[in-house]
Amino acid sequence: MIECKNITKTYVNGDMETTVLKNVSFTIEDGEYVAIMGPSGSGKSTLMHILGALDSPTSGTYKLDGHDVSKLSDDELADVRKNKIGFVFQSFNLLSRATVLRNVALPLLYSEMPRHTRNEHVEKALISAGLEKERWSHLSNQLSGGQMQRVAIARSLVNNPSIIFADEPTGNLDSKTGEIVLDTFQKLNKNHEHTIVLITHEKYVAEHADRIIHIQDGMIVEDRKNTSKRMTNHTHKE
Amino acid sequence: MKITDIVSETYFSLTANKVRTGLTMLGIVIGIGSVIAMVSVGQGAQSSIESSIQSIGSNLLIVSPGAQRGPGVQVSAGRGTAQTLTQEDANAIIKDVTLAKAVAPEISRRYQITAKGTNTNTQVVGTVSAYPTVRNIEIDTGSFISDQNVKSLSRVTVIGSTVRDDLFGIGSDPIGQAIKINKIEFKVIGVTKSKGGSGFGSSDEMVFVPLSTAQRYLAGDTYVTSISIAAESASAMTAIQQQVKDLLLERHKIQDPTLADFNIINQADIVATASSITGVFTMLLGAIAGISLLVGGIGIMNMMLTTVTERTREIGLRKAIGAKRRDISTQFLVESIMLTFLGGVIGVLFGWGLAWAVTAFAGITTSVSTSSVLLAFGVSAAIGIVFGYYPARRAARLNPIEALRYE
């Protein structure tokens, strides 16, 4: 569960002070599928960094599953990310010379999980992300964009996080493969009750979520249930 | 992070770019290899010089005549040419210097030596039966000059192996044959074992005769050229040197020790001097090789910095999925230590091979010591830590948000 109260983020660059987020408050319950939508420069990325424990707010409190994470040190934040958060990035960020399996297992290196139980988790995550088994031993640079993003989704799932943040996950994909990725998120939300936070600037993409938080100039301008939710009709074939 | 994971990650990233890894490692291989090889040449020189000094006798003191100087006008004859040491001096040393194991006075000079149609010019040494003990000479065939020979002024001779080869032919048996030294006939009773060439007058090229015979028939007086004294142990040498000095000063009636008409050469001093020279030589060679090691280390740092820049996004990702600073810095540090360690292992083998090649093709004695191998390992690991530390720290301090955005 995410509880944000009066989150403000100010960057100081020389004499210039830029306030990127202004008193942002909202709550996301477990199992929700939320889209944070806003044009570039609206502060949605900064918000995601704070929600994803990559950054700390200048003021305000951020509680993740009841724990205050707004004033933790770098290494404590790393622990929060390791145990509770999964990331999916626009540019996939896979290790190109490593196999799919190695890429997905990467977060487990930093967990306390013993080696022999890792494979099980990796396979489970890959199945959940919907990547065909025959691709698992391929090097990640031999995959298509859609496949790469599904490897990245599997990587974000492998630690069994409570929340997955997807930062413009379809930004580098054509609309057809983008649809497949969005479909994967939908299934994850439906089947496993993962909390998913989608960050995007596209209205079309945001409309796949159950709830849309519209952010502009560092403030929430709209927070509504998505009544006209788009369903993806695709099956998992490419 | 578990150790097995760190090793596996390191292996993965080092093999990802094999050419670059290989070239970087080559810097360390050449550095460590040349340190091992250079130091082995230096230490080989040291041990060969030391053994060649030891071969003229162990724990040896040599008393040789100097030039007596009066307090007035300094008229000085050349050192060693003065005839100030006598047979009686030698006898007194034998009698009074109790710490001495053996004392061998000798008289030596070059003479023309002939034997049935062949002839040679070499050093003739008149000495006593103790000489082989003092000077580490072994007899190959026959026997050395006995006390009886000395007492009875026998005209017998023991010849060096080279002299035997020159006069009688290589490997022949000259026992019982006659040679003429300065036109006086001597009977050969023994041949010394070859000691190999040494810069300090090889015994292989000498001819030995009884001291009394040499004084009577060859020199015509009772002076001796030098007195060699073997000490029981290295620790007794200084004491013996002092005793001999006091005894001779008293016998020669000289009050001021600075005016002594003799010199005492202590073998330990020669060894120490030679060692210090070769030590400097070794240091110099090692230092030159050390520079290449340093350059290799800088190569490592350069590669690691490039790697950190290249893998900025990867570092950002690793941090985003939960890697702590320590995890990142450990990974990069282990990478650079692994590079230098592997380079060190190959370098030691390379240096060993180089030392072997120097011995095989250039004929220079080399010796690869355990200490230089251990030192090389230590240095290469230290280079890994020193030159890997800065890049690793830089990687660990990257901000994950900026690192992920890095293009």
pLDDT tens for each residue of A6-26: 999 999 988 899 999 999 999
Q: Which residue has the tokens 């009773």?
A: B189
Put simply, the answer to whether B320 touches A74 (Cβ < 8 Å) is no
Question: Six-digit token pair at B198?
Answer: 């040494």
In a domain, A3, yes or no: no
**A-B interface: how many C-beta pairs under 8 angstroms?**
62
Query: Other C-beta atoms within 10 Å of B338: how many?
Result: 20
Q: Which residues contact B406 (CB under 8 A, 6 or more apart)?
A: B312, B313, B316
- Strand ranges across the sheet with A67-68: A16-28, A2-13, A59-64, A67-68
Q: Which of A131, A145, A119, A226 is nearest to A187 (CA)?
A: A131
Nearest by CB to residue B319, choosing from A78, A89, A109, is A78
Return the amino acid letter for B43: Q
Which residue shows structure tokens 């929430």?
A220
Q: Which residues of B touch A109 (CB under 8 A)?
A: 1-2, 5, 9, 323
Closest CB from A78, A87, A106 relative to B324: A78
Of all residues in chain A, the one with the smallest CA distance to B317 is: A93
- Is A66 among the domain residues? no
Q: What is the DSSP string of B239-286?
A: HHHHHHHHHHHHHTT---GGG-SEEEEEHHHHHHHHHHHHHHHHHHHH
Q: How far apart are CA A108 and CA A199, in angstroms?
A: 25
Of B243, B266, B269, residue with least CA distance to B60: B266
Cα–Cα distance for residue pair B249/B244, rounded to 1 Å: 8
Q: Band the pLDDT of A238: cuts 50, 70, 90.
A: very low
Q: What is the rounded CA–CA span in Å between residue B260 and residue A77?
A: 86
Report the SS3 class of residue B140.
strand
Indicate the angle between helix axes B370-396 and B18-54, nearest 10 degrees.
Answer: 150
Q: What is the CATH number of the domain that holds A117?
A: 3.40.50.300
Touching check for A99 and chain B: CB below 8 Å?
no
The complex's ipTM works out to: 0.92
How far is B392 from B240, CA to CA, in rounded Å?
A: 63
| Contacts of range A68-72, beta carbons closer than 8 Å, 24 or more positions apart | A70/A7
- Which residue in B has a C-alpha nearest to residue A46's C-alpha? B401
Measure the CA–CA gap between B221 and B86, rounded to whole angstroms: 9
Contact B243, B97 (CB under 8 A): yes
Q: Cα–Cα distance between B220 and A177 in angstroms, integer?
A: 116
- CA-based nearest residue in chain A for residue B7: A109
- What value does the mean pLDDT of chain A take? 90
- Shortest CA distance to A217 belongs to which of A6, A18, A14, A2? A18
Q: Which residues of B touch A (CB under 8 A)?
A: 1-2, 4-5, 9, 12, 16, 313-314, 316-327, 400-401, 404
Establish if A139 belongs to a structural domain: yes
Question: To the nearest whole angstrom, how far is the Cα of B327 from the nearest Cα of chain A?
Answer: 8
- Which residue type does B80 have? G
Contact residues on chain A for B321, CB-CB shorter than 8 A? 81-82, 86-87, 106-107, 110, 155, 159
Separation between Cα atoms, residue B86 and residue B35, nearest integer Å: 52
In chain B, which residues have pLDDT < 50?
Answer: 73, 77-80, 199
Please indicate if any CB of chain B lies within 8 Å of the CB of A106: yes
**Chain B contact for A116, CB < 8 A?**
no
Measured torsion, CA atoms of residues B4, B5, B10, B16, in degrees rounded to the nearest 10: 120
CB contact under 8 A, A93 and B313: yes
Q: What is the pLDDT of residue A104?
A: 94
Tell whether A38 lies on the interface with B, counting CB pairs under 8 A: no
Interface probe for B, chosen from A84, A109, A151, A156 (most Cβ of B below 10 Å), is A109
Partners of A35 in beta bridges: A198, A212
Structural Rg of chain A based on CA atoms: 18
Are B40 and B281 in contact, with CB atoms under 8 Å apart? no
Q: Which domain, by its residues, includes A159?
A: 30-55+81-225
Eight-class DSSP state of A220: E
Domain annotation covers residue A46 = yes
Q: Residue B348: its pLDDT value, please? A: 92
Cα(A178)–Cα(A169) distance, rounded to whole angstroms?
8
User: pLDDT at position A237, please?
Assistant: 43
DSSP summary character for residue A142: G
Task: Give the closest residue to B278 by CA, choosing from B78, B51, B113.
Answer: B51
Does A165 map to a domain? yes
Q: Classify strands B206-210 and B118-127 as parallel, antiparallel or unpaired.
A: parallel
Cβ atoms A43, A220 nearer than 8 A: no
Examine residue A65 and state whether it is found in any structural domain, yes or no: no
- How close are the terminal C-alpha atoms of chain B, in Å? 28
A72 touches chain B (CB under 8 A): no
* A77 inside 8 A of chain B by CB: no
Residue count of chain B, please give it. Answer: 407
The answer to whether residue A37 is domain-embedded is yes
pLDDT at A236: 46
Tokens 């592997």 found at: B342
The token pair at A104 is 């997905």
Chain A residues near residue B4 by CB distance under 8 angstroms: 115
DSSP-derived 3-state class of residue B221: coil
pLDDT score for B377:
82
Q: What angle do CA A101, A107, A108 make, to 5 degrees?
A: 80
Q: Determine whether the interchain pair A82/B9 forms a contact, defined as Cβ–Cβ distance below 8 Å.
A: no
- What is the spatial distance between Cα A52 and Cα A60, in angstroms, rounded to a whole number? 15
Closest CA relative to residue A82, chosen from A154, A159, A157, A30: A159
Number of domains comprising chain A: 1
- Identify the residue among A20, A46, A81, A110 best suited for mutation to test binding to B, counting B beta carbons within 10 A and taking the highest: A110
Closest partner residue to B317 among A74, A83, A93, by Cβ?
Answer: A93
The pTM is what?
0.74
Whether A201 is covered by a domain: the verdict is yes
Task: Give the per-residue pLDDT at A9.
Answer: 94
CA angle B92, B94, B98 (to 5 degrees): 110
| Pair A167, A88: CB distance under 8 Å | yes
Q: How far is B13 from chain A (nearest CA, A)?
A: 9
Q: Is the pLDDT of residue A164 over 70?
A: yes
Listed in sequence order, the DSSP H helices in A26-114 are: 44-51, 74-84, 100-109
